[in-house]
Structures are given as structure tokens and as C-alpha cells.
Structure 1
Amino acid sequence: MAGVFLASLLSTVVVSHSLRRRVPWPLPVRTYRISALASAGLTSVVLLVLYVGRREPIPGMSLAIVGAFVGGVVTTSSAIGLVENNAPPSPGVRDKVLTHHSFANLRYPASPRLKRALDVTLASLGLILTLPFWIVIAAAIWFEEPGPIFLTKNSVGLGGVTFRQLKFRSMTHDAERATGPVAACADDPRNLKCGKRLRRWHLDELPELVNVLTGTMSMVGPRPLRTVMVQHYLEELPGLAERHTVKPGIACIAQIEKYQMPADERLRLDLEYIRRMSVALDLRLLGRAVLTTVRGTRRET
């Protein structure tokens, strides 16, 4: 069985490299999809020929498909990367954000007892329970647009420090090449077809569980905003730095209520959370976040 997987994987790699050299298509990424499909088909045909006339199940068919997909991911990862680092801010922008925090005379509240234990427990369970979805999501993203499966947003965390917020890629590759950093919206034309569904059900945020385990995020806290956006907001609303006195979170009051909102309203709701912060509140907000996602009841603005 391992031989079928490896044969399909290597076949994809060989075919894709061959096509990239010989076919001058305007969108070379198509070669990866065609290579994976051709490899899966070829390996399956070979298995059919080997087992024709036998009264037994043909083994390895699913492994041939998986191997072809993995081969495609290996090929695109070597050429483009597995993780897209989306519009990283310049060192100057990072320094400006840190400077705002350094001179803001901020008070950092103590984290509630057992909050970190709750984060680690829920993030670990979440990763275990959702792992099958990761495979399906990765395949959906890759087959729609072969390229990076993950994306990192350069966002502001505790103390104004920029960190890499891990997500599934829900937009076209290098979507901000022409526009520069632009805030996403619910019906963003840059979304992949599968990306619209990922964002609707917040499945693109599943990799943020890794951020929770590494300690750069919490399960509940102010939603992290991109560094370039924060630098702009701080110039008009210096008090925004107060939302970074606690770790950013996957769920928060602001996220539950609306899809988008002005910076001053977001700050008000985030400060409300910080003032009332507790493990019990975290559990209630997580429950509300799940219900809101299932019902789709969030307002756009």
C-alpha cells in the first residue's frame, strides 16, 4: 500500500515539473492540478489492470488519490511555499506600533487563574476533533487554486508585538499585490469559492488553535488586527493600545456582535471584556460564538 502512495506522489512531482517546462500557459499553477489528477488517474488505471479478473477489492485506490494530492502539495510548496506570509509590515511600521505602546503608560491586568489551562485544554481538544476537517479543507483550497494552503496575518498581540496569526488561505494567492493591505469583508471578491464557506463557518480560523498552544493567542480575547491597520488606527485613536494589554483571542464580544465595526466601538467592547475577564465569561462567550456561527446571526456592520 505504501508503494501505491509513493508511486502516485512521485508521479505527480515528475509530471508537474515536465509540464512546467514544456507548456507555456499564462497560469502555470494549473499544471499542478492537472498533474495531480493525471497521476491519480494513471495510478488507478495501473491498479485496475493488475487486478482485472480477480474477485477481490482493488487495494490502494484511495491511497493513489491521496498520494497524488500530497505530491501536488510538495511540488507547489517547493515552488511557492506552503504558508503565504501576507503583506508583512515594514520594520518601521512595527516600530511605530511598539512606540505607541511604550509611551501609553499601559496597565497589564493579571490573567485569570486557570485561563491558560483552559486555553491549552480546549485548543488541544479542538485540534484532535477537527483534524479530519483540516485534510478536507486543505484539499478544497489546493484543488481550487494550487498554491499555499495556509496564510499568516501579521497582527498585533500582547504589548503591541507583531506575531504571525496562522489561518487557512481563503483568498486568491497574493490577493493584495495590486491594492496593498485592505480590510476583508463578508462578500470580498478576492475570496476563493471554498473560501466564502470557510469564512462563513469560521473554519479558516482553525489553525489559530496552534497560536493558542504556542501562547501568542488565547481562546477568548480581543480579535487581533493587522499591524498595518493598527498603526493607522493608533494615529487617530491612541487609546486603542489598551486592547493589547491582554492576549488576542479567537472569540470576543465584538466578533460575536458584528462582522465589522468602527475602531472606537471595537475598543469599547474589548475594554468591557478586559474589565470583566474571567474563565466563566470565556466559557459563556465561546458558547455564544458557536451559536452565532451556526445561526449566522451576526450583523454586517
Structure 2
Amino acid sequence: MRTENESVPRPGRTAPPVPAPRQNPGPPQVLYTEATFPLTLLAADAAAACAAAALATPGRLLPTADLLIETGALLPALLLLNGVGGLYRRRLSPSVLDELPALAGRAAVAVAFAVTLCGCLPERWPSFATAAGLLRLLTGYLALAVTGRAAAYAALLRRRRRAPRPVLLLGAGDRGRRVAAALLAHPRYGMRPVGCLDTARAPHPDGPPAPVPVPVLGGCEVLEREIRRRGVRDLLITTDTAETADPETAAAMRTAARLGCDLWLVPGLREYGALPYGFRRPAHGDHLWGFPCLRIGRPARHRPGWAAKRALDRTAAAVLLMLAAPLLAACALAVRLDDGPGVIFRQQRVGLDGRVFTLLKFRTLRPASAHESATRWTIAQDRRMGRVGRLLRRTSLDELPQLWNVLRGEMSLVGPRPERPYFALRFTQAHPGYADRHRVPAGITGLAQTHGLRGDTSIEDRARFDNHYIESWSLWQDITILLRTAATLIRPDGS
């Protein structure tokens, strides 16, 4: 038994080293490989295209300038077409033979584009633009690309077997048991199930299910803790369709996506629908030892183009604030002369992830109290509005100060319109899916507004349009919404 004197090191003696707590190192090698593997495929395709272009005209050595121009026309088109076609996405069961038709078709289109582009340049008709040259170019590219991809897939499968990624299963029923058993028996998929979460709400009608070959860690409430604790990078959703649509299960899926996990839906043979708001329906299928496996698209703000949207927001807001400075000054002066001091109206609104921020507008009327400002529904023809206020409302010029909110990162140019906390709570309770609008930053304009849903209009319709915008988000959609908004600014239907 240790005494008090023994627990304190004496002078001149070195205390025994305290072992550092063990950290879960995870599988860094495989994470690196899985994350950068699309770049490996892209490099293989690029090398194959360059080599095929150089070898397409045997018997004479191409000048360097000609080769660079022809390859420069071919390579970007080829890689872009392959990327758009999903040839660089992560797959659980990769197969070069399955990809061969897509590789051949996209290579033919890219070569046709390169020939057309080079033909438009003076005296730059591509050297491979003959029947024999085109045949050599296409067959050479396909042979080299297939060889390179086959070697890359073989290396990936070896690494997957050596160090599989830890995965969680959402669903401890019969399907989860069979999927877990298949993953344990077949390490080629690079997934090592470390546990499952039970989402069942009621007793199983056929009695207790068979035991799962991995530990049942609890319900959805422990998901975030287990993902962080075990270094999980994939979540397999093995619940049935009704459970997938359950709000708690949908929240668990969003939590996993927020933590950077890839989500895979493992449905039954007839269960391919009913995904909650926030996840795109998958366009490409895969399988885990015969089980259909569909990768669920990540929420909008976790997609690669989202960073470009945020950069565009702040850049455009800064430029518009400078260009619109005279108009802002004129509006401010008109409000001051028409209704006295207090030109800017500040109001609490609900934004991204339910966080409250202060929205800025030009004041169009003076509320009787702060309580009225927070809880009274805005109507378009409020009798307290003066002539300047009506003009600002009708032309939406009262929204111009929100460019400052965009510049601060509190809002976006395009997104769901933010609501006051009092009404946001009421609408969330009354309309399913309303709270899902808060998955992205609020916007100055949005898809609902371009369809006339402004002011005193249907909240259910607004929520439906806003969620559709988030589901189908793209930069081009933002541009079209901004163009439509510009065309409707003079319509007297705003509020």
C-alpha cells in the first residue's frame, strides 16, 4: 500500500514518467489514400492522354509547340468530361471494365472538341486528325488509361485490406447485422465496422432480432461522441425507410455529415426513397457484397463549390456597397427628412444553424415598441408607412443595408429569407421542414421570393421552395435567382 510520503518524489529524485494518454491514431494511411485517390486517377488519365497524343503520329517527331497546343486542347476537355461523369468519385467496388464505356465515350467527345478547336487556329490543323491518327489516339489512350487505373485500383485494394476505415452502422436490425457480417468477412471494401446504433422505436414484431456481430453502442444520442472517439469516417445507414425519415435519425445523419463522414444508404430491395431534407438523391450506385449501397450527397455547404459561393458573396457585397454608396446616401437622407432620426432599423433574425444575428434595413415605419417589432407580422400596406417608406418597400431598396450583413458573413446574397425568433419558433412547430431552412446562411433574396412568395404569403410554400433551393444548390442557380430578382425589383408586391 502506497503511503503519502511515497506518492511525493523526494528532492534529488526524478519522478517516474507519467504515460501520456493513448490517442486513437486512426488509419491515417488509408484516409490519405481515400482522400487523394481521385487525384491518382486524374494523374493516370492525364499521363495516358499526353502519351497517346505524342504517339498518335508515328514516323515523324512532332515539334514541341504543336504537341503542346494539341495536348492543351485535348487534356482539359477530357479531364473535365471524366470528372462530370463521376469517373473520379470514390467507389466501394471499383472496376475498370465497368468504366470502359464511359472512358471511351468521353474520350471521343474530347478528341472531337480538340480537333475542332485546333482547326480554328491558323495553320494548326492537328497532326492526328486523320482516320488512322484518330484511331491510334483513342486506342492508345484507352489502353494506357485502363492500365493505369487497374494498377491504381489494385494498390487501393491492398491498402484497404491492410488498414480499413472504421465505420458505424445506423440501425441494429436484421439488415445491419447482415451488412456488418459481410464487411467483417470481406475486407476488400476497406470498412471495419466498430459498432452500430439502435434506432428502433418499438419492439420487433417477430421477437428480439439476432445478435449483431459488432457492439450496439446505444441510440442516436451517442453518435457524435462515438464518431469522435473512434475516428469514424463513414456512416452506413441500414435502417428501414420509415426510420430514415424519423426526425431523430435525420438529425443523426446531419450530425455525421457535419463531422465530415461519408454517408452510405444501404436500402432494402424496394426502399430507395424517403431521404430527409439536406441530402441529395444519389445518382450513382455501388454495392457491398451484393447489398445495394448508395452514397448520399453531402449538404450544400459541405460541397466543393460552397467556398466559391461565400467568396463571391463577400466580394460582390464589397463592390456593390461601393457602387451603391450614392444611392444608400440618398435613401438615408430621404428617410431622415420624411420620418426623423433613426435611419437604420436593426432587428434580430434567425440565420445559419438557428443562430440569431442583427439584420439591418432602412426604416420604413416606426414600431410602437420593441415587443411589437419582434412579434407583429409585417404587412405590405401598413398605414403607418409614409411615402418614402412605401417607395423603399415597393422597390426593395430598404434591403440594401443587408449588403453589410453579407460582407460580415452573417448572410448571403441568395438564400432563405431570415425570420424573427418569435415567428421562427412558431413556424417550426406548425410547418414540418421549416427549421431545415437554417442549414444554410440566410439570404437577401431567394428562390421563394422569385416566385412571388414575399410578405404575407404561405409559409409552407416558402419553406418548400427554400428547401428545394438547398437540395439543388449550384452557383448557376444563384446567378439565375439574382437575375430574376433584378427583373422583379420594380413590382409592387414586396413587403
- Give the TM-score range, shorter chain: 0.5 to 0.7
| Greater Rg by CA | 2
Give, in angstroms, the shift of residue 253 of structure 1.
1.2
Using a 3 Å threshold, how does the CA distance of structure 1 residues 154 and 140 change in structure 2: closer, same or farther? same
TM-score of the aligned structures, taking structure 1 as reference length = 0.61
Which residue is 2:387 aligned to?
A: 193
CA 136–269 in structure 1, closer or farther in 2 if over 3 Å, else same:
same
1:227 Cα deviation after fit: 1.1
Q: Render the CA deviation track for 1:74-130: whole Å, top value 9, x for unaligned.
A: xxxxxxxxxxxxxxxxxxxxxxxxxxx999715553253410121012111210111
State yes or no: 1:120 paired with 2:314. Answer: yes
Task: Kindly report the root-mean-square deviation, in angstroms, between the aligned alpha carbons of the 2 structures.
Answer: 2.5
Superposition map of 1:14-29 within 5 A: none
Equivalent residue number for residue 23 of structure 2: none
Q: 1:178 Cα deviation (Å)?
A: 6.2
**Residues 211 and 289 (structure 1 numbering): CA distance in 2 closer, same or farther, change over 3 Å?**
same
TM-superposed CA distance for 1:174, in Å, is 3.8
- Does 1:230 find its partner at 2:424? yes
> How far is 1:190 from its partner?
2.5
Give the percent of matched residue pairs that are identical in Structure 1 and Structure 2: 34
Identify if the C-alpha distance between structure 1 residues 255 and 175 changes in structure 2 by more than 3 Å, giving closer, same or farther: farther
Q: Would you say the 8 A contact 1:104–1:241 is kept in 2?
A: no
Aligned to 2:323: 129
CA contact under 8 A between 1:158 and 1:246: conserved in structure 2? yes
Structure 1 residue 277 corresponds to structure 2 residue 488: no
Which aligned pairs between 1:124-273 and structure 2 lie closer than 5 A? 124-174=318-368, 181-258=375-452, 259=454, 260-273=456-469
SS at match of 2:429: helix
Counterpart amino acid of residue 469 in structure 2: Y
Amino acid at match of 2:406: V
Residues in 2 aligned to 1:145 and 1:117: alpha-carbon distance in whole angstroms: 37
Letter in 2 for 1:135: A
Distance in structure 1 (CA, Å) of the matches to 2:368 and 2:336: 15
Cα distance in 2 between the residues matched to 1:179 and 1:121:
32
Contact 1:176 1:182 in 2 (8 A): no
Distance 2:249 2:420 in 1: 20
Please give the alpha-carbon distance, in whole angstroms, between the structure 2 residues aligned to 1:201 and 1:280.
Answer: 25
Q: 2:379 & 2:330 partners in 1: Cα distance?
A: 24
Give the 4+ runs in structure 1 shifted more than 4 A.
Answer: 101-104, 175-180, 297-300
Report SS of the residue matched to 1:148.
coil
1:211-238 per-position Cα deviation (integer Å, ceiling 9, x unaligned):
0011010000001111111111112124
User: What is the total number of aligned residue pairs between the two structures?
Assistant: 199
Q: Matches of 2:352 and 2:407 in 1, distance apart?
A: 15
Give TM-score scaled by structure 2 length. Answer: 0.38
Q: Considering Cα pairs closer than 8 Å and 6+ residues apart, tell me whether 1 or 2 has the greater RCO.
A: 1
Question: Unaligned stretches of 5+ in structure 2?
Answer: 1-246, 255-277, 279-298
Which amino acid in 1 is paired with 2:462?
Answer: R
Counting only pairs closer than 5 Å after superposition, residues 75-114 of structure 1 correspond to structure 2 as 105=251, 106=254, 108-109=299-300, 110=302, 112-113=305-306, 114=308
